[in-house]
Amino acid sequence: KGNETKKKISPAQNMRRVEVLSAYRAVLKATRKSFAGDSQMLKGSAAEVRKQFEENRNVTSEAEIQKLLTEANEASDFITNMIVQAKLNPDAGSYVVKPGKEHAGATLEIPSEEIIRKSG
């Protein structure tokens, strides 16, 4: 009987809640797909996604909620379609990039040696 403390929400609020949770899951799914096999990026991106959603948990303005949902959907699309994780080929000492069909039409920006050194 611990449900007495829960607030009643309207059907419209419930629909909005479903939209927000769907956007949250979509961004997490995009990060899991784009960063598969990279535990550091998976952990970091999941923490960042959660942080962003938590920071906006108490937003009540319908316009602001819609703006945040649009941003979340754009982030999900960007992560899915624009990020390709390069994998190290230890035998050759180089990185291999294997874009998928979702990356068709995207251009590849190869990081400079300086950027690679800084990130390593």
Range among 13-22, 32-41, 67-76 with highest mean pLDDT value: 67-76
Looking at beta carbons, which pairs linking 101-110 to residues 24 or more positions away fall under 8 Å?
106/81, 106/82, 108/84
Give the pLDDT of residue 54.
Answer: 97
Q: With contact defined as beta carbons under 8 Å apart, do 97 and 84 qualify?
A: yes
Q: What pLDDT, in 10s, does the model give residues 89-106?
A: 888 888 777 777 776 666
Give the pLDDT of residue 4.
Answer: 57
Q: Using CA atoms, how far apart are residues 23 and 85, in angstroms rounded to an integer?
A: 22
The percentage of the chain sitting over the pLDDT mark of 90, rounded to a whole number, equals: 50
The pTM (predicted TM-score) of the whole model is: 0.71
